[in-house]
A = this chain, B = another copy of it.
Amino acid sequence: MISTKARLGKDIVTKEGVIIEDDVIIGDSCYLDYGCIIRKGVKLGENSYVGPNCILGEFQMDFHNDRDSEYNPKSLTIGNNALIRSHTVIYSGSAIGRNFQTGHHVTVRENVEAGQNLRVGTLSDIQGTCKIGDYVNFHSNVHIAMYSKIGNYVWIFPFFMSTNDPIPPSEIISGCTIDDYAVIATKATLLPGIKIGEGAFIGAGSVVTKDIPSNMLAVGNPAKIKDHVSSLKHPETLEPAYPWKLRFDRGMPWEFDME
């Protein structure tokens, strides 16, 4: 079902079972795969791909609280060249920049403001009301709590969890902050209100209970500061492996500049 009140660009592929509701705007050259659902008011940039059984513009709680009222969606805006893989759900009320990519079975809730080149891996769960910079990489199964603030060029690996409630359950919200270029290895946890400094490295399985300063390496449960990140060596060259931006450029804006 494609609404006659939707505005579709040129050269759009719509496979069997696609749903496009009223007031949707879709840019040129998009590919909408089997059975994806684009709810009322979504704006999707050109050359984007939406996988099977995805939902864009998912209902927020106000719809469920009163399904009989006229549904007045907050817009969801996604920039050009998005690649949204199957079974992903993105709520209304968020704005995501260009070159957005997701894996499968991802959830992104409302009030997320994200920059360009965000990548969100399979089974990740962005709980909403958070701010994410440019060129951020969430690997699979990354869980971002509400009220998190994430800078640019941040890498977060699987089974990460940020939290926000110091005495659950409560009405206190104390979001975490992760600054530019930080790297958080697999299965790390941030307790409520923690701040990870620019370029810091958090080791696998760490539970971070205190703020970690810029460019420091922290490991353990509770995480302890071990050294400067430059103490981590490249296993072959034995040169300092961090800051990583001096040695890695795939998909980064400085790609092809390095020698």
Contacts and interface: CB of A to CB of B under 8 A. Distances in A.
A200 interface: no
Interface in A136-192: 137, 140-141, 143, 155, 157-159, 161, 163, 166-172, 174, 183, 185-187, 189, 191
A19 interface: yes
B167 A232 contact: yes
Given A35-B17, A87-B89, A169 B189 contact: no
A7 interface: no
A86 interface: yes
Interface stretch (A51-59, A72-80, A110-118): A51-59
Interface in A102-116: 103-105, 107
A255 B186 CA distance: 37
A127 interface: yes
Contacts of A123: 105, 107, 123, 125
B83 A107 contact: no
Contacts of A96: none
Contacts of A204: 163, 189, 191, 207
A60 B16 CA distance: 20
Contacts of A253: none
B161 A187 contact: yes
B127 A104 contact: no
A247 B170 contact: yes
A215 interface: no
Nearest to A61: B83
Interface of A: 1, 13, 16-17, 19, 31, 34-35, 37, 49, 52-53, 55, 58, 64, 67, 83, 86-87, 89, 103-105, 107, 122-123, 125, 127, 137, 140-141, 143, 155, 157-159, 161, 163, 166-172, 174, 183, 185-187, 189, 191, 204-205, 207, 220-221, 232, 234-236, 241-242, 244, 247-248, 250
